[in-house]
Amino acid sequence: MRVLLLEPPLWPYETPAALLSRALPAPVLRFSSLIRDQLDRGTPAGIRIRERIESGSLVTDDLARGAVREHLSRSAPTAFLLTGFPFNPALAAAFDTDLHERGTPLDAVLLLRPTEPAVDQFVRHRATRRSCPVDGPQVYGPNPAGDPCRTCGGELVQRPGDHPEESRRKIDGISSTLDGIARHYAAQHLLRTVDALPSAEDSTALALAALRAGRPGPDARPTGAVL
């Protein structure tokens, strides 16, 4: 089964993608992993991607599409669970073309729609995180004892992006992006929309039930709302 998973980053540890992969079964194709593979192998695309990353630029749609297309051509999976790609409706349409040319169109698209309890859990978890004042990417969990940073010995700080207001803004932005992509697939009657719950296991159970229920009807549409 070839499934595209539109998954917001609500879960701090194991995600529905990992659980779904084992249940289907189908290997998870994470877009971030495909990009790392291009970088590690030093492909022409990987060199261009590294240049953009080092300059602080986003990976272009063409480079992103090429990385996914090259992986599918090289590994030729009969089943997969893709997450993290595509990231806009135009790229979704281009991806459709690539899959149809290979004779391997998507079987289903799953949208995990954020619910308020799941968003609240995400916000509270990020609010407890602390990071090194020198090496910002080094992030630690809750630090109730006020222990110093294990990297630099200084006082751990909260990154601006982990403030509750910023965390909610992040999820709102991601949800809006996923909703636009979901509308593209709803028009093809491929979309299944299920609630993203605080528990990754419960969210996965809903997703599996939606997949097993069969092809959705023409009225299946994303709501774009946090419930």
Count CB-CB contacts under 10 A for residue 30: 17
pTM of the predicted model as reported, rounded to 2 decimal places: 0.86
Assigned domain for 202 exists: yes
Assigned domain for 155 exists: yes
Q: What is the rounded distance in angstroms from the CA atom of residue 121 to the CA atom of residue 196?
A: 12
Could you tell me which residue, 128 or 216, shows the higher pLDDT? 128
Radius of gyration (C-alpha) of the chain in whole angstroms: 19
23: domain CATH number? 3.40.50
Assigned domain for 64 exists: no
Give how many domains the chain has, as a whole number: 1
Q: What is the rounded distance in angstroms from the CA atom of residue 118 to the CA atom of residue 178?
A: 16
Assigned domain for 178 exists: yes
pLDDT (0 to 100) of residue 153: 84
* Cis bond before residue 142 (omega within 30° of 0): no
**Residue 218: is its pLDDT beyond 60?**
no
Assigned domain for 114 exists: yes
Beta bridge partners of 2: 80
Range name among 17-21, 46-50, 195-199, 220-224 with the lowest pLDDT average: 220-224
Reduced to 3 states (helix: H, G, I; strand: E, B; else coil), residue 79 is coil
Assigned domain for 83 exists: yes
Q: What is the rounded distance in angstroms from the CA atom of residue 227 to the CA atom of residue 176?
A: 14
pLDDT digits (tens, 9 = 90+) for 59-108: 999 999 999 999 999 887 889 999 999 999 999 999 999 999 999 999 99
Assigned domain for 84 exists: yes
Q: What is the rounded distance in angstroms from the CA atom of residue 10 to the CA atom of residue 142?
A: 18
Domain holding 82, by residue range, is: 2-27+77-212
Assigned domain for 111 exists: yes
Q: Which of 218, 223, 185, 196 is nearest to 15 (CA)?
A: 196
